[in-house]
Amino acid sequence: MHSLLSLFLAAGLLHTVAGHGGVSNYTVGDTWYRGYNPSEPEAEQDGQPWLINRKWTSIDPIFQPSNHSISCNTPGTPAVSSIPIQAGENITAIYYWWLHNVGPMITWMADCEGPCEKFDSSTGKWFKIWQEGLLSGGVVEGWWWQRNFQNWEGDGECVWPVTIPKDLKPGNYLIRHEIIALHIANKPQWYPECAHLKVSGNGTKVPGEEYLASLPGVWTLDQPEINIDIYSPEWYNRTDYPIPGPPVWKGD
Ligand SMILES: *[C@@H]1O[C@H](CO)[C@@H](O)[C@H](O)[C@H]1NC(C)=O
Ligand SMILES: *[C@@H]1O[C@H](CO)[C@@H](O)[C@H](O)[C@H]1NC(C)=O
Ligand SMILES: *[C@@H]1O[C@H](CO)[C@@H](O)[C@H](O)[C@H]1NC(C)=O
Ligand SMILES: *[C@@H]1O[C@H](CO)[C@@H](O)[C@H](O)[C@H]1NC(C)=O
Ligand SMILES: *[C@@H]1O[C@H](CO)[C@@H](O)[C@H](O)[C@H]1NC(C)=O
Ligand SMILES: [Cu+2]
């Protein structure tokens, strides 16, 4: 199976073999929160009281880093409800069958500075709370976190747990899961989805300026790690992949 996978990868065909994807559900502890489902009728989901993630109507990627949709996908309409979570707890994003396996995965948050239902995500001061990239080996054939996460065999689920920094100031936040797929030369793909969180706890910390970024803004096609040809001699066997953007905020 893996040689077949490598073949698809080398040919850049994986993309056409199966679809793309995005967050389907979230869990906090034993509680499941249903996300927006692009394959179900919009009328059954729009405005529903259970809806905790921002509307996204297609599992296809976004190709332009300057696209307004890069912040919370298309159309990114605000959710109705929020996921309650305590700072220090984990939230786990569960994906539809994920097949790509090269490129970084990043979880961001942004303070809605009030109700998230009224917040324009493209004005957010986004900060990273988690990121993973290349874990071992070379850029093309090595193991990315995304490769552990993907589920080529189709059994089990693609789960992505992250911890809300325990000292984060309570409030309303967006959480944004972003996969950047880099398997096609010089054609990076973005897969972002956002959910609304109501963070509780006794924290007082907020990230400093050096941790903040805009979306759109943080990614450009001038970044060599983004507008990348992983199959080029320059990258193929490289064992380091620096994830661009600000550093991850650990809560201090
Ligand atoms: C997500 O939740 C929906 C509705 O609760 C459910 O039908 C679906 O199977 C879940 N998806 C996954 C990948 O578990
Ligand atoms: C932004 O991305 C969406 C989803 O891929 C696409 O439909 C739309 O045309 C893009 N907008 C621009 C200005 O490129
Ligand atoms: C909580 O999230 C962290 C960070 O991703 C992860 O290392 C840990 O395994 C998660 N814990 C649980 C119980 O899922
Ligand atoms: C916050 O502080 C109150 C009062 O000291 C305490 O009862 C509560 O358990 C704390 N909550 C958390 C999440 O630490
Ligand atoms: C990568 O390394 C392998 C094994 O050393 C070598 O055969 C191959 O030619 C290298 N590829 C590139 C593009 O440098
Ligand atoms: Cu895809």
- The 10s digit of each residue's pLDDT in 20-37 is 899 999 999 999 999 999
Query: With a 6 A CB cut-off, is 151 part of the ligand 4 pocket?
Result: no
Q: Are 112 and 119 in contact (CB under 8 A)?
A: yes
pLDDT digits (tens, 9 = 90+) for 197-237: 999 999 999 999 999 999 999 999 999 999 999 999 999 99
How many other CB atoms are found less than 10 A from the CB of residue 247?
Answer: 12
22 burial (CB, 10 Å; 0-12 / 13-18 / 19+) is buried
pLDDT value at residue 90:
98
Residue 209: partners with Cβ closer than 8 Å, 6 or more residues away: none
- The full set of domain ranges for the chain reads 2-213
Ligand 3 pocket test target in 26, 90, 131 with most atoms within 8 Å of CB: 90
Query: With a 6 A CB cut-off, is 167 part of the ligand 4 pocket?
Result: no
Ligand 6 centroid to residue 132 C-alpha, Å: 19
Query: With a 6 A CB cut-off, is 233 part of the ligand 5 pocket?
Result: yes
Report the run of H or E that residue 10 belongs to, with start and end.
Answer: helix 2-10
Query: With a 6 A CB cut-off, is 53 part of the ligand 1 pocket?
Result: no
Ligand 4 atom with the shortest distance to the CA of 87 = 13
* Per-position pLDDT tens, the chain of length 252: 333 344 344 444 444 445 689 999 999 999 999 999 999 999 999 999 999 999 999 999 999 999 999 999 999 999 999 999 999 999 999 997 788 999 999 999 999 999 999 999 999 999 999 999 999 999 999 999 999 898 655 566 789 999 999 999 999 999 999 999 999 999 999 999 999 999 999 999 999 999 999 999 999 999 999 999 999 999 999 999 999 999 999 998
pTM for this predicted structure = 0.92
Domain 2-213 in this protein, CATH class: mainly beta
- Nearest in space to 181 (alpha carbons), one of 4, 25, 60: 60
